[in-house]
């Protein structure tokens, strides 16, 4: 295993009194189950994290909103927000806690040579035939290692993907995101997201009296917001999460006995009115800004090589699904490998790895299309479009079967809400 993150390599410790990391992930119930099954969630629970059982989504026009509640689908939570450093540390501790043989290399990858018909010599005592059927990885410290399977899980700027010469398809959005941690007077238990003219702003609970901000906007605005004083930035956040840019939605605007009355409103949160998010009192971390893009690898798998997570795909952060797509990749790959080993397959054989690619490529492209569609729908400020978006919001609020399907899909169920 190659691990070049300095903090993880140096076995850093997370202290309770440490300020929250502005980099967080919203993990779905499906991802939480995956962590529990592998034994990593117990380490997450030792550190700051925040479950949420409600989510409110609305837009700046005041025409519509929707509210999701875990009890709508007989669940305890809709998700959990965890600092990225906690996820990283928990996964590393999980690996170190296992009995199987493992070696963690702190060096960086320089090159990959994939097997050919001729065998390769080995300086480590490995037989030439074994080396000849393995990928050879050259490290920046001059050493080389051999692997039956190389898993590229090294992020959107994947070195593994680049060295394997796998092409990608995608585009940059004309948006950037600012992320940071903020503080409230009391603890927040709801995930909030408001769509503004230049992009959504999300307020996500992360435990104690802290929440995380993910604010999408055009690049120039992100520069201006990032250079504001802390007081002015806090005022801007509260303005964006309250009545700035437009009025609060009216709960009865579409509900009235007309458009949605012929659907039975038997979901509890259907009857919950619009709420104003908790007021932000101070900035609790540095502000980080980064450009947004969509990227998809043209191939996930070849002989001795497979890509997972952001190395294979990146998406707009508006629904917090990127990390969950990556963990779903990892779960799928682990099952494919386990099934292959059970029947005597070579784990690096392309026919086996293509099973993983086939399963995850379809699911990932579907999610990417949904998120890209949302991004494009909210890139237009035109009254007829605004009304259509409001109808979609209120349909998701008042049509009980649709609401359940949306919650289920966002929680990790791969069934699309409109087609099942």
Q: Between the CA atoms of 124, 126, 130 and 134, what dihedral angle is there, to the nearest 10 degrees? A: -20
Over residues 330-377, the pLDDT tens digits come to 999 999 999 999 999 999 999 999 999 999 999 999 999 999 988 888
The pLDDT assigned to 10 comes to 62
Over residues 276-307, the pLDDT tens digits come to 999 999 999 999 999 999 999 999 999 999 99
The pLDDT assigned to 415 comes to 56
Tell me how far apart the alpha carbons of residues 182 and 199 are, in angstroms, rounded to a whole number.
Answer: 19
Tell me how far apart the alpha carbons of residues 267 and 349 are, in angstroms, rounded to a whole number.
Answer: 48
213 burial class (0-12, 13-18, 19+ CB within 10 angstroms)?
A: buried
Confidence class of residue 404 from pLDDT cuts 50, 70 and 90? confident
Residue 403 pLDDT > 70, yes or no?
yes
Residue 328 pLDDT > 90, yes or no?
yes
Residue 122 pLDDT > 60, yes or no?
no
Q: What is the mean pLDDT of the chain?
A: 87
114 burial class (0-12, 13-18, 19+ CB within 10 angstroms)?
A: middle
Over residues 187-206, the pLDDT tens digits come to 999 999 999 999 999 999 99
What is each CA distance from 74 to 53, 395, 407, in whole angstroms? Answer: 11, 20, 11
Tell me how far apart the alpha carbons of residues 91 and 82 are, in angstroms, rounded to a whole number.
Answer: 13
Over residues 232-260, the pLDDT tens digits come to 999 999 999 998 999 998 755 544 444 55
The pLDDT assigned to 85 comes to 93
DSSP state of 86: H
Q: Are 300 and 312 in contact (CB under 8 A)?
A: yes
The pLDDT assigned to 57 comes to 92
The pLDDT assigned to 15 comes to 82
Confidence class of residue 391 from pLDDT cuts 50, 70 and 90? confident
The pLDDT assigned to 360 comes to 97
Q: Among 250-259, 267-276, 317-326, whose mean pLDDT is lowest?
A: 250-259
| Of 323, 366, 22, nearest in space to 183 by CA | 22
Token representation of residue 49: 């994290």
| Of 156, 413, 406, nearest in space to 294 by CA | 156
DSSP assignments along 267-319, one per residue: SGGGGPPP-PPPPEEEE-S--EEEEEEEEEES-SEETTEEE-GGGTEE--GGG
Tell me how far apart the alpha carbons of residues 154 and 146 are, in angstroms, rounded to a whole number.
Answer: 18
Q: Are 181 and 208 in contact (CB under 8 A)?
A: no
- What are the start-end ranges of the H helices in 64-216? 84-96, 128-132, 159-163
The pLDDT assigned to 200 comes to 94
The pLDDT assigned to 73 comes to 87
Dihedral over Cα of 404, 407, 79, 387: its sign: negative
DSSP assignments along 365-395, one per residue: HHHHHHHHHHHHHTT---HHHHHHHHHHHHH
Tell me how far apart the alpha carbons of residues 36 and 18 are, in angstroms, rounded to a whole number.
Answer: 25
Query: Which of the residue ranges 4-13, 23-32, 245-254 has the most confident prediction, judged by mean pLDDT?
Result: 23-32
Residue 120 pLDDT > 60, yes or no?
no
The pLDDT assigned to 44 comes to 96
Over residues 370-380, the pLDDT tens digits come to 999 888 887 77
Write 376-385 long-range contacts (CB < 8 A, 24+): 378/59, 378/195, 378/199, 378/200, 381/197
Which residues lie across from 66 on neighbouring strands? 57
Over residues 151-192, the pLDDT tens digits come to 999 999 999 999 999 999 999 999 999 999 999 999 999 999
């Amino acid at each position: 295993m190659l691990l070049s993150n300095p903090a993880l390599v140096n076995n850093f410790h997370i202290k309770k009194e440490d300020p929250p990391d502005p980099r967080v992930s919203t993990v779905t119930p499906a991802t939480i189950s995956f962590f529990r099954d592998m034994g990593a969630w117990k380490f997450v629970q030792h550190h700051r994290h925040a479950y949420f059982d409600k989510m409110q989504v609305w837009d700046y026009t005041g025409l519509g909103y929707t509210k999701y509640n875990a009890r709508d689908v007989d669940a305890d939570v809709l998700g959990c927000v965890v600092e990225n450093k906690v996820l990283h540390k928990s996964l590393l501790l999980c690996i170190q806690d296992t009995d199987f043989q493992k070696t963690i290399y702190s060096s960086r990858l320089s090159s990959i040579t994939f097997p050919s018909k001729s065998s390769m010599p080995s300086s480590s005592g490995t037989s030439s035939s074994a080396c000849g059927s393995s990928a050879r990885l050259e490290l920046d410290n001059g050493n080389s290692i051999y692997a039956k399977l190389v898993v590229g899980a090294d992020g959107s700027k994947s070195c593994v993907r680049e060295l394997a010469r796998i092409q990608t398809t995608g585009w940059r959005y004309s948006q950037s995101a600012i992320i940071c941690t903020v503080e409230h007077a009391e603890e927040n238990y709801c995930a909030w997201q408001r769509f503004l003219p230049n992009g959504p702003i999300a307020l996500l609970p992360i435990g104690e009296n802290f929440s995380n901000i993910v604010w999408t906007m055009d690049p120039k605005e992100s520069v201006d917001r990032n250079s504001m004083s802390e007081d002015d930035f806090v005022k801007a956040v509260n303005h964006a999460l309250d009545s700035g840019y437009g009025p609060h939605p009216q709960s009865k605007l579409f509900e009235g006995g007309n458009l949605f009355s012929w659907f039975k409103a038997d979901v509890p949160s259907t009857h919950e009115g619009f709420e104003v998010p908790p007021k932000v009192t101070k900035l609790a971390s540095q502000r980080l800004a980064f450009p947004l893009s969509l990227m998809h690898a043209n191939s996930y798998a070849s002989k001795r090589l497979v890509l997972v997570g952001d190395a294979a795909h990146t998406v707009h952060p508006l629904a917090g699904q990127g990390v969950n797509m990556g963990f779903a990749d990892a779960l799928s790959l682990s099952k494919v490998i386990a099934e292959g080993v059970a029947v005597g397959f070579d784990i690096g054989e392309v026919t086996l790895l293509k099973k993983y690619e086939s399963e995850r490529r379809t699911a990932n492209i579907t999610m990417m299309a949904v998120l890209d569609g949302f991004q494009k729908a909210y890139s237009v400020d035109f009254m007829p479009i605004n009304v259509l978006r409001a109808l979609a919001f209120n349909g998701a609020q008042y049509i009980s079967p649709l609401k359940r399907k949306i919650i289920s899909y966002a929680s990790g169920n791969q069934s699309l809400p409109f087609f099942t």
